[in-house]
Copies of this chain bind each other. A is one copy, B any other.
Amino acid sequence: MALEHAILVSLLEQPGSGYELAGRFERSIGRFWTATHQQIYRVLRRMESDGWVVAEEIGQDGRPDKRSFSVTGLGRRTLAEWLRAPVQPEAVRHELAVKIRGAAFTDGAGRADLLAEVTRYRAEHEALLATYLNGEKRDFPDPGALDVGQRLQHVVLRGGIAYERMLLDWLDDVLHTLRAL
């Protein structure tokens, strides 16, 4: 129910085409809201017909034409209204936790497999933390000299970093627990 709003925020930060938005959802915004290009094009069409965004046709040579979207006054007001509404309780879907509790009903081989999988998962998140820390160094080298938008982007990134650190610590706890069974 909030892909529209994530798109509005992204387009306010920087206007762009559906393709460019899909790229951002793969990178920065994807840290806290995921979407595929199919979803983005569909929602963008609806947002356009509702007057939340307008497209500017940009002819390019050597490249397909693109439609660059910007947020209208109505879109801005719609976002402001949504910002005032309470945060909806989020749908939790933590597959690894289900698997860990499920490990009580497998044999030793199954548990060894889970241990290997947790190790792999941990390495993935260690790499993700490294890219976050890299991005922080690159984008916010001097935290004292940031404008409002950058300070807000930075605090969200710090949330991602805190989450990954917490996750790595907990995965170590999980590995110890599985080894000690």
Contacts and interface: CB of A to CB of B under 8 A. Distances in A.
Oligomeric state, in copies: 2
A158 B170 contact: yes
A49 interface: no
A138 interface: no
Contact of A162 (B9, B149, B156, B170): B170
B181 A155 contact: no
Contacts of A98: 2, 5-6, 9, 32-33
A12 interface: yes
Interface of A: 2, 5-6, 8-9, 12-13, 30-34, 76, 79-80, 82-84, 86-88, 90-106, 110, 113-114, 117, 120-121, 148-149, 151-156, 158-159, 162-163, 165-166, 169-170, 173-174, 177, 180-181
B148 A104 contact: yes
B95 A2 contact: yes
Given A98-B2, A100-B155, A100-B156, A92 B170 contact: no
